[in-house]
Amino acid sequence: MQYFDCDYLEGAHPAILERLTATNSEKTPGYTTDAYCEEARHKIRTACGCPDAEVHFLVGGTQTNATVIDALLRPHEGVAAVESAHINQHEAGAIEAGGHKVLALPHRDGKLYADTLKSYLRDFYADETYLHMVRPGMVYISHPTEYGTLYTRAELEAIAGVCREYGIPLYLDGARLGYGLAAYGTDVTLPVIASLCDVFYIGGTKVGALFGEAVVIPRPEPARQFFSIVKQHGALLAKGRLLGIQFDTLFTDDLYWKISRHAVDMAMLLSRILTAKGYEFRFSPQTNQLFVLVDERKAEELRRRVTFSLWERRDDGRVVIRLATSWATKEEDVRVLETLL
Amino acid sequence: MQYFDCDYLEGAHPAILERLTATNSEKTPGYTTDAYCEEARHKIRTACGCPDAEVHFLVGGTQTNATVIDALLRPHEGVAAVESAHINQHEAGAIEAGGHKVLALPHRDGKLYADTLKSYLRDFYADETYLHMVRPGMVYISHPTEYGTLYTRAELEAIAGVCREYGIPLYLDGARLGYGLAAYGTDVTLPVIASLCDVFYIGGTKVGALFGEAVVIPRPEPARQFFSIVKQHGALLAKGRLLGIQFDTLFTDDLYWKISRHAVDMAMLLSRILTAKGYEFRFSPQTNQLFVLVDERKAEELRRRVTFSLWERRDDGRVVIRLATSWATKEEDVRVLETLL
Amino acid sequence: MQYFDCDYLEGAHPAILERLTATNSEKTPGYTTDAYCEEARHKIRTACGCPDAEVHFLVGGTQTNATVIDALLRPHEGVAAVESAHINQHEAGAIEAGGHKVLALPHRDGKLYADTLKSYLRDFYADETYLHMVRPGMVYISHPTEYGTLYTRAELEAIAGVCREYGIPLYLDGARLGYGLAAYGTDVTLPVIASLCDVFYIGGTKVGALFGEAVVIPRPEPARQFFSIVKQHGALLAKGRLLGIQFDTLFTDDLYWKISRHAVDMAMLLSRILTAKGYEFRFSPQTNQLFVLVDERKAEELRRRVTFSLWERRDDGRVVIRLATSWATKEEDVRVLETLL
Amino acid sequence: MQYFDCDYLEGAHPAILERLTATNSEKTPGYTTDAYCEEARHKIRTACGCPDAEVHFLVGGTQTNATVIDALLRPHEGVAAVESAHINQHEAGAIEAGGHKVLALPHRDGKLYADTLKSYLRDFYADETYLHMVRPGMVYISHPTEYGTLYTRAELEAIAGVCREYGIPLYLDGARLGYGLAAYGTDVTLPVIASLCDVFYIGGTKVGALFGEAVVIPRPEPARQFFSIVKQHGALLAKGRLLGIQFDTLFTDDLYWKISRHAVDMAMLLSRILTAKGYEFRFSPQTNQLFVLVDERKAEELRRRVTFSLWERRDDGRVVIRLATSWATKEEDVRVLETLL
C-alpha cells in the first residue's frame, strides 16, 4: 500500500525523537515554563523578526484555534472566515462551543480576498439592524488554505489593511505553515506574517513534530493572560518541555524549512508525473497537497493500492482526490505511485 | 406618518390590557405557577389537541429559540435551519452563545424543503469525516418564514418524515404563527403542527400581546426539566401571571385567530391595491408581511411619509421593501397608504 | 390568607398600568429605542448624578446579572461574590452558562466586607499556581443583600477601594434597590452608588413595575456594545417602550422612592409588632424583608393563614421565616397579620 | 538540587520512548483509529474486566475532565465534587467554560463521603426552590484525591449507591490512579472501579507516559458520540497512535502497576525517614504524595536544596509541604533527601 492520504501518518522527524530520548531523564518544571521552551521561544522570535513576541505552545490545531479565537473575541462577536475554513467545517463545533459564530464568507480556491472581506464588513455596518447581528470581531485565514493554495504577500497586506481599517485583529492558522513557507515562488515569509497578523501559529503536528503548535503574538498587549485561557481550554501540556524540545529542534539549522521543502519537492515531482499522464488539477499545485481530478473508476482502482482523501464528487463522472506528501515522503514512494497512476 | 414597518408597533390588544388592569391587585405565586397560567395552558392544550402537552411561557422570541435549542441539543450538535433563518441572522449569536452551530441550508422563498434537508443529512453521514463535524441534532423552521411565506401541510409532513427517519427533533418557531394560521387557503392548523413538531411556540409579542411566547411540547419526555433551563436562560418571568393572563385572553373566544385574520385581511387589501397600481412582489403575499419591489426613487419618496423595512437592494434599480400589517392596523391606515403609493 | 411571602405578588403600581393603557395605541420603534425609554434614561441619569451614563432596560434580574457579568468578564475570569449571593444560589447556573465561575466568598449577614475581599485577592495572587485558577475579574454585591441587610456608604467605599486597587470592576445588583434607598438611617444614595460602582441596576420587578431592570453604566467606555450582548442574551424586549414607560413613571415625582418607603414603613410597623410579641430576628430589620425566628409548631400553624418563605431550619427547634412587604402592602394587612402572630 | 515537587518532572518510562522510536516510521491512520490504540483498548478492557467498555484516549487531565463532564451533563446541571477537587481549584474554569457549575461539597482529608453527598442531595430536593438552582447531574471524585488519600472499596460502594439512588452518574478522575492501585492495603482494583463508576480515566501523564489519559466507559450507552465531543474539545490527537503505543506499553506485563508500586515504595521509604526524624504528616501517607508539617524556617532552608510544593500556611508557625515521588524516583535521591531533612 502506498500512503498519500495525509501529512501526519508517521511519528516525528528522527532528530526530534533523538532529542526527546536524550533529554528524557532530565527533570524540568512543567507547563511550558522550562528552559527548552524558553530557548524555542527565542528561536521563533528571531525567525519571525519580532523580539517582543509572546510565544505559547499548544498541542493540536483545533484546540489552538478555539483558544486563540476565544481569547480575541468578546461574547457577542464572531470570527469571519471562508466557508471552507477548517474552523467552519472540521472542528466539530469547537468555535461555537466557546460561544462564537463562524461568519462564513465566499472563497476563491480556498482563499479569502480583501474585496470579499471589505464588502462584507461594509454591508454589515450598512445594515440598520447590525446591532442585532453577530459582530465580526476578527478575521481567520489559513496559509496554506484547506486547498493547499497560498496567499501572496500583497494579498495578505490587503486583508490586513481591511482589518486595520475596521479595527479587528487578523489571525492566521498555520497548521501547514512550513509547506507554505517552503513553496517555490512565494514571497510570504515568517517576518511578513508576523508584521501583518495579530496572532498566528506555526504548525508542528503536520510538519515533522509528534504534535504541537506554536502560537505567536507579535505585538502582545499587556494583561491578556493568554496562558490562563490556554489552561482553561485544556491545552496546557503538563510536560511542556516536550513542546519546547520539538520546536527548538525544528527551529535549529532551518530544519522546519528544510523538511517542508522536501515535502514540497516531492509534491512537485508528483505533480509533474500527474501532468505528464494527462491528469488535471482542481487547484494549481503549490504546496504538499495535490487535488487531482480522477475518473471514478480509476479512483476505485487506485484505492486498492493507495490511500488518499476523497475530496469531492463531481457531476462529470470524476472525483477530486487529495494526495499529500510530507517531510517523510520518499522519492521511491512517489515512483511506486507513478506506476499505479 | 403611516406606520407599516413591523407588527409590534403598539402595546397590546385592548382586551389584554383590560384584564391586566382588572387583575392587577390580586396576589398570585410567581414564575408561571399561578392559576392564570394553568388556565392558559389548558386552553392551549385544547386548541392544539394534545392534552398531555407541556406548555411553558417565556418573554421573547430570541430567548425562546435559545432556550429550546439548548434544551434539545447535546454539546456537539447543531441546529439545521435555512440560511435566512432568524436564528442565523438576527439573534446576535444567541444560539452560538449556548455552544451550538447553526447549520445553514439553502432555502426557496424562505422555506426549508424536505429534499434539501434529506440530501444534506445523507451527504453528512456519507462523509467519512462526519464525526469531526457538527452533528445535525435538530431541525428549526419557522411558520410563517422570515419572508412571510407558508408551508403546506404536505411540506411539513415531508420535513417531519425526514426528521423521524434520522431520529432528530423538529422545532417550529411560531413568532408570527397567528398570521400563518389565519391565512387564506392554508391547511396547516395548530393540531397539525402539534402532531408533526416535537416542540413549537405560539408567538404573542407580534400577535397582540405586550410580550410573551408559549412553548408547546406536545409529547413531553419525562425528566427533561425544561423549567430549569428556562430559568437558567433568564427567561422565567417573576410575575409569570402576566403571561398567563395574556395567553388566556388570546385563547378565549378565538381572539388569537380573529386578530390574526384581521391583519391578514389588511395585508390582502393592501396587496390588491399594490397589484392594481402595478407593483410586483418579491414573494407571493400570504400573511401579514408584503415584500414589494419599488423603484429606489419611489422608496425614498415614500420614506418621508411611511415607515417600512428596507429588505434588499437589487441591481435593477429597485429595492425590496417590507410592509407589515398587524392586529392593530386600521383599514383607514391602508387607505391613506394607498394615496401615497 | 395573608400574603407576605415575597414582594412581587401583585401586578404593577396603578400609575404604571394607567400610563401603559393611555399609551397603548401609540406606535413606537422597538427595542428600547423609543422616546419613552429616552425620557426614562434622562430621568435616571439625573437621579444618579451621572449625565453621561449609559442606561439599558432589561426584563428580569437573572438575565440582567448574566448579561452584565458576561459583558464585563474575559473568558478565564470569574465573578467574586458572597456564598449566599443570588447568582450563586438561585439563578440555575445562568452565570456558569455564560462560561464563568462564581467565586464564593464568606459573608457576614449577607454582606461582603472589604477585608474579606482584600485577603481573598491577596491570597489569590500570592498563590504560585494562580494562573491555573479562575482569575477574579469583577466583584458582585447586592444592595439590599439576600438577607435584607444594607451596606453603609463607608463599607461600599472600602469595597470599591479594593476593586480599584486590583483593577477590577464593581457591580451592584439592585433588584430591591428602592427598599435600600428608602431605608431609615441609610447614607447610601443613587449618586453614591453611581460614583462607586462600574455597573449597577435599579430593580423594577420587585419595586412596583410589572417587570424591568434598569442597568446603569455611569462612566461607559467606548465601543463596549452592551446593546448587542443584551440582544444575544435574549434580554432585549421587542416592545421596549413598556420598559421606558414604567421607569419613566417610577422616576417621575419620586414615585420609586415613595412606594419603596411605604414598604419599609410597613416592614418597620411589622417589626415593632413582632418585637412587642417577643419574636427575635435573624438579621436586624432594615428594609422590606424581615427574617424572624419562629418555633416550628408556630410556623406550621401560621402557614395555614399566612404565606411566607421558609428560610432556614435550626437545631434549636426554631425556623427562620421571611416576611416581605412591598409597595402594595396595606396597613390593614399588617394588622390582620398581627392578630395571627 | 533534589526534585520532589511533582510526579511529572521527567519524560516517559524508557520502554515507552523505545517503542515510539521503534514505530516512528510506520504509517498509521490518525485520531486514535489505529491498531495500536485498538490493542491498548483491548488490554485496558481486560484489565478492567469489562469487555464492552468504550476506551478513549485524550492528552491531558483538565481537557479530560472538561470533556467527560460536558458529555454527561445537560445544560442546567452541575457536577458535585469536594471543595478541594482539582476541577474546582486548578483547572482555570474549564468546567464553567463548558457551562456547568461545580457544586462544592465539604471533604474529609480530600475525600467525599457518601453521607455528605446524600445529605446534600436530600436537602437539595427538599428545597422548594430547587428548580431555580443548579441540578446536581453527576458526581466527581478522584482516586487518589488531591491529598493523596484513598477511598476504600466500601466507601466507593457507598458513594455509588447514593448516585444510583438519585439516578446520577459517578465519574472518577484517575490522574494518579496507578499510585492508588499500587498502594499497600488498598482493596480498590480496576475491576472494582469499573463496576462502580459510570466513567473514569486511567492517568498516563503522571504515571510514566509522556502524556495521555485513557477514558473508560464500562457500560456505554448507544449513540452518545463521545468521540465528537472529544474532537470539539480539541482533545483528539491527530497522531493518535502515540497514545495507543503508550497505553499499550503501560498495560503490557503490568508495567503500569509496577512503576506505580515503585513510586509508592519510594514514598513509604521517605515517610519512614520523616517519621524517624520526628516529622508529622497532615494526611496519613498512602500513595506517592506526602504532606509534611515543617517549621517555616526549616522549609526555607530546604528550599535551597529541594524542590517541593508549598501546600498550606498554618497559624502554628509551620507550613505543609508536599513531597512527591514518581515512577522515576531513585532510592539514592531519597537517601540524599534524607541528609537534608
- pLDDT per residue over B271-289, tens digit each? 999 999 999 999 999 999 9
Mean pLDDT for C198-222 is 96
For residue A254, pLDDT over 70 is answered with yes
- What percentage of chain D reaches a pLDDT higher than 70? 99
Mean pLDDT for A34-48 is 98
- Tally the residues of chain C: 341
- Tell if the CB–CB gap between A9 and D21 is shorter than 8 Å: no
- Phi, psi of A238, rounded to the nearest 5 degrees: -60, -55
Please enumerate residues of C whose Cβ is less than 8 A from a Cβ of D.
75-78, 89-93, 96-102, 104, 128-129, 131-134, 310
Q: What is the rounded CA–CA span in Å between residue A151 and residue A178?
A: 14
Partner residue opposite A71 with nearest CB, options C31, C75, C98: C75
D189 burial via Cβ count (<10 Å: 0-12, 13-18, 19+):
middle
Q: What's the pLDDT at B261?
A: 98
Q: What is the rounded CA–CA span in Å between residue C89 and residue C93?
A: 8
- Tell if the CB–CB gap between B24 and C14 is shorter than 8 Å: yes
Q: Which residues pair with D141 in a beta bridge?
A: D172
Partner residue opposite D231 with nearest CB, options B99, B132, B232: B132
Rounded to the nearest 10 degrees, the angle between the axes of helix D255-276 and helix D241-250 is 60
Mean pLDDT for C209-228 is 93
Query: What is the tens place of the pLDDT at every residue in C39-64?
Result: 999 999 999 999 999 999 999 999 99
DSSP A221: P
Find the closest chain B residue to D224 by CA distance.
B74
Mean pLDDT for D302-312 is 94
Query: What is the tens place of the pLDDT at every residue in B258-274?
Result: 999 999 999 999 999 99
Q: What is the rounded CA–CA span in Å between residue D92 and residue A31?
A: 13
Neighbours of chain B (3+ CB pairs under 8 A): A, C, D
Measured CA distances, A188 to A156, B79, B242, C305 (Å): 9, 39, 63, 81
Q: What is the rounded CA–CA span in Å between residue B73 and residue A178?
A: 39
For residue A224, pLDDT over 90 is answered with no
For residue B223, pLDDT over 70 is answered with no
For residue C223, pLDDT over 80 is answered with no
- What percentage of chain B reaches a pLDDT higher than 70? 99
Q: What is the rounded CA–CA span in Å between residue D264 and residue D272?
A: 12
| Mean confidence (pLDDT) of chain C | 97
CATH architecture of C2-8+255-340: Alpha-Beta Complex (3.90)
Task: Single out the residue of C288, C284, C210 nearest to residue C247, CA to CA.
Answer: C210
Neighbours of chain D (3+ CB pairs under 8 A): A, B, C
**Residue ranges of chain D assigned to CATH 3.90.1150.10:** 2-8+255-340
Q: Which residue, among A56, A73, A125, A131, would best test binding to C if mutated, counting the most C CBs under 10 Å from its CB? A: A131
For domain A14-250, give the CATH number. Answer: 3.40.640.10
Q: Considering only CB atoms, which chain D residues are within 8 Å of A231?
A: 62, 91-92, 94
For residue D223, pLDDT over 70 is answered with no
Q: Considering only CB atoms, which chain B residues are within 8 Å of C12?
A: 24
Neighbours of D298 (CB within 10 A): 14
CA dihedral A58, A59, A65, A67 (to 10 degrees): -50
Mean pLDDT for D72-101 is 97
Q: Considering only CB atoms, which chain C residues are within 8 Å of A76?
A: 225, 228-229, 231-232
- What percentage of chain A reaches a pLDDT higher than 70? 100
Partner residue opposite A89 with nearest CB, options B89, B98, B133: B133
Q: Considering only CB atoms, which chain C residues are within 8 Å of B235?
A: 63, 234
Q: What's the pLDDT at C30?
A: 96
Q: Considering only CB atoms, which chain A residues are within 8 Å of D63?
A: 63, 233-235
Mean pLDDT for A222-236 is 92
Mean pLDDT for D22-42 is 97
- Phi, psi of A122, rounded to the nearest 5 degrees: -60, -45
Mean pLDDT for A117-129 is 95
- Tally the residues of chain B: 341
Using the structure block, give the residue that is written with the C-alpha cell 489571525: A171
Mean pLDDT for C156-171 is 98
Task: Single out the residue of B145, B116, B124 nearest to residue B78, CA to CA.
Answer: B124
Q: What's the pLDDT at C221?
A: 86
Q: What is the rounded CA–CA span in Å between residue B6 and residue B289?
A: 8
- What percentage of chain A reaches a pLDDT higher than 90? 97
For residue A58, pLDDT over 70 is answered with yes
Residues 6+ apart with CB under 8 A from C191: C48, C49, C50
Task: Single out the residue of B263, B233, B45 nearest to residue B148, CA to CA.
Answer: B263
* A131 Cα to chain C: minimum distance (Å): 5
Measured CA distances, B85 to A101, A177, A245 (Å): 14, 37, 49
- Tell if the CB–CB gap between D238 and A206 is shorter than 8 Å: yes
Specify whether the CB–CB gap between A168 and A197 falls below 8 A. Answer: no
Sheet-wide strand order for D54-58: D54-58, D213-217, D199-203, D170-173, D135-142, D77-82, D102-105
Cell numbers at B89, concatenated: 441572522
For residue C127, pLDDT over 80 is answered with yes
Q: What's the pLDDT at A36?
A: 98
Q: What's the pLDDT at A223?
A: 66
Specify whether the CB–CB gap between A64 and A215 falls below 8 A. Answer: yes
- Tell if the CB–CB gap between D17 and A11 is shorter than 8 Å: no
Measured CA distances, D295 to D298, D302, D317, D334, D336 (Å): 5, 10, 6, 20, 20
Specify whether the CB–CB gap between C104 and C88 falls below 8 A. Answer: yes
For residue C293, pLDDT over 70 is answered with yes
Collapse the DSSP code of B298 into the 3-class scheme (helix H, G, I; strand E, B; otherwise coil) and give the result. helix
Q: Considering only CB atoms, which chain B residues are within 8 Å of D99?
A: 98-99
Measured CA distances, A28 to A36, A321, D6, D41, D257 (Å): 9, 45, 10, 31, 24
Residues B91-120: b if buried by 16+ CB within 10 A, e if exposed: bbbbbbbbbbbbbbbebebbbbbbebbbeb
Mean pLDDT for D188-211 is 98
SS (H, E, C) B5-69: CCCCCCCCCHHHHHHHHHCCCCCCCCCCCCHHHHHHHHHHHHHHCCCCCEEEEECCHHHHHHHHH
Find the closest chain A residue to C100 by CA distance.
A232
Mean pLDDT for A265-278 is 98
Q: Considering only CB atoms, which chain B residues are within 8 Å of A93?
A: 75-78, 99-101, 134
**Residue ranges of chain A assigned to CATH 3.40.640.10:** 14-250
Q: What is the rounded CA–CA span in Å between residue A76 and residue A138?
A: 12
Specify whether the CB–CB gap between D71 and D224 falls below 8 A. Answer: yes
Q: What's the pLDDT at A68?
A: 97
For residue D224, pLDDT over 90 is answered with no
Mean pLDDT for D326-341 is 96
Neighbours of D146 (CB within 10 A): 24
Please enumerate residues of A whose Cβ is less than 8 A from a Cβ of B.
75-78, 89-93, 96-102, 104, 128-129, 131-134, 310
Specify whether the CB–CB gap between C139 and C168 falls below 8 A. Answer: yes
Specify whether the CB–CB gap between C45 and C220 falls below 8 A. Answer: no
C2-3/C306-307 β-pairing: parallel
CA D218 to chain centre: 17
